[in-house]
Amino acid sequence: MTSHPQLRRVRFASHADVAAFEQIPLDERLGGRDLVALFAGQVAAAPSAPAIQYLPGGVSDISTVPVTRRDLLDGARGIAAELRRLGAGPTDVVASLLPNGPGTVCAALAALAVATLAPINYYLEPSQILKLIAECGAKVILVPRDKPSILAAAFDSILSAKLDAHILEIDPATASFGQFGTVDFATRAPHERVALFHTGGTTGLPKFVPLTARNLAAGALISGFGYGYAADDNVSCAMPMFHVGGLFACALFPLCAGSTVTVLGPLGYRGDGVVAALPQTIATCGITVAVGPPTIMAQLATNPPDRTKADRLRLLVNGAAALPHLIGERLSAASGVPVVEPWGLTEATLAVTSGPFDGQGRQGSVGLSLPYCEVKAIRTDADGKAIGDCDVDEIGTLAVHGPTVFNGYWNRPAESQPFFPGRWLDTGDLGRVDPEGYIWVTGRAKELIKRGGHGIDPATIEDALIAHEAVALAAAVGKPDAYAGELPVAYVQLHPGATADPRTILAFAAARIPERAAVPKDVFILPRLPITAVGKVHKQPLKADIIARAVRDLLAQTLELQEVTVTVEPDQRHGLVARVRVPAECESAARDALGTLPIKSTINSLDGAIRE
């Protein structure tokens, strides 16, 4: 096994830099280590170096809890000793319902080292959480010793249920677990399953993504290259640690590169005052890389950090959902640092593409393929089967190949696995690759609605609507939104002769949808829903309709414009494009307003000039 030197920041400005990094094979770089061993190498190099700055209140003007690398590893060894005492072995699942904190990172390292970690979204309804715990067959369930008030009711319901599993209370706010003893860690074999992440938080049947030791170790190395993580970095962590983005992209991956991670309280961006104080927190804590979803980036664009105080900030990373290009441009100009937009998915540890932090930014693109990763667009037939590779700039289904890609959903038959021939992962996203290799995502073949980065299965909404006695057909789609990315809305067709009020239908469905985030914002009743030749509801016309409604609503609210004509048309490069006509004197303001929506649009003034 090779030694583990401190990771040195390397240049990432173009594909040439990626190719240069790939000259050393991945397995040679990893040297047989798993993710826990990668972090242990950083501990050996500098045990007293800072690993985590924990802000219990989520803001910098409240006491900070420092945690060294040695503290974190010792805490992980303590929890691992207790997991082993409870009988957890490599194939046993440890479910984690822990809010953010150093103790949560310790618990994750422990479970990754001796068992299989399965983080669970604790914001789901208790019945959904219990279903996920049962589905993954958890042997141990980690819960917080002190439950945050907004989660107390959910935890009471979970703990009162009869579960065939050990309950282990962990304090997320500390890394001190010496009371449990200690164990030494052995490196996991590359093919071993070490983590299970559930996807589609509101789906009726959960899908678990198993990730191997090699998947995560590769993700750490690739992510370190993509964002230039090094020992002098301080990375913000305010995304939930039940998600790959919060636990790995914002915490464990930077830690494996020797960086410090600043954890913004147990609830991250959901904590009181955390978002409002973020510019000050970036400055006071010396954040060098700030990570957040589009909702946070939009607020930073209007309230950026003071660069005379936040002089260490070098990079802003948008995550979880697409960032409207105008917001990206404004944020970069206001902050004075690059804004990069990565793209990935749980099934590939999120480490697939990113905009080069040293290169020329292309707002709206998700950047270049990261080292050892390949991305291409594939032509598919009506059944979603591959029929050939797309040409340059031709839209197809984006597919991924590389060491971070998982081997298939847990306990699912081969025919339901998301792979094209050659083990190319079918991402479900539509997009294209331009002549310079930049990747552009133009839509989603799977029709998942992404609200603030959280995946909502339309079927959950549709099933609740169909249960209404007056509803014959239902279809849920995402309405473009400047803050959340998308908001769920629904279209329904009533039974012949039936009558119902949209508000009544919405209230009926809301009571049957297991997660509040999935409750549609509006229900529209149509005489007939569009139907395909094979009898399925055709959602593209509905998507076009809701884009047009979103455009009209935004211009009416922001500019009080009523004289607006909107047509939404298919486009070979961008999927759907909104073509908008406004009075000539309103053209510039309309362009600025529409730039906040995550859609492609053109403005046609009265003089006939069309501008994007």
Which pLDDT tens digit goes with each residue over 171-214?
A: 999 999 999 999 999 999 999 999 999 985 333 456 899 999 99
May I ask the CATH class of domain 541-611? alpha beta
May I ask the CATH class of domain 15-359? alpha beta
The whole-number pLDDT of residue 84 equals 98
Taking Cα atoms as reference points, which of 321, 104, 97, 112 lies closest to residue 196?
Answer: 112
Question: Which three-class secondary structure state does DSSP give residue 30?
Answer: helix
Cα(596)–Cα(609) distance, integer angstroms: 21
CA distances from 606 to 117, 554, 565, 580, 593 (A): 59, 20, 12, 11, 18
Which CB contacts under 8 angstroms, 24+ apart, belong to 186-189?
Answer: 186/113, 187/32, 187/33, 187/34, 187/36, 187/37, 187/213, 188/34, 188/36, 188/90, 188/112, 188/113, 188/213, 189/213
Fold equal for 373-444 and 541-611: no
Taking Cα atoms as reference points, which of 88, 74, 73, 68 lies closest to residue 38?
Answer: 73
Pull the structure tokens for residue 606: 């009265």
Residues (pLDDT < 70) of the chain are 1-8, 150, 200-206, 446, 532-535, 572, 606-612
The whole-number pLDDT of residue 315 equals 96
CATH of region 373-444: 2.30.38.10
The whole-number pLDDT of residue 376 equals 98
The whole-number pLDDT of residue 609 equals 54
What are the residue boundaries of the structural domains of the chain, listed by start?
15-359, 373-444, 449-537, 541-611
DSSP codes of every residue in 328-341 = HHHHHHHHSS-EE-
Taking Cα atoms as reference points, which of 218, 207, 223 lies closest to residue 408?
Answer: 207
Tell me the per-residue pLDDT of 453-490, one tens digit each, with 9 for 90 and over. 777 878 789 889 989 999 988 999 999 998 888 999 99
Pull the structure tokens for residue 492: 């329904």
Query: How many CB atoms are located within 10 Å of the residue 581 CB?
Result: 18
Question: Which three-class secondary structure state does DSSP give residue 159?
Answer: helix
May I ask the CATH class of domain 449-537? alpha beta
The whole-number pLDDT of residue 6 equals 45
Which residues partner with 50 through β-bridges? 68
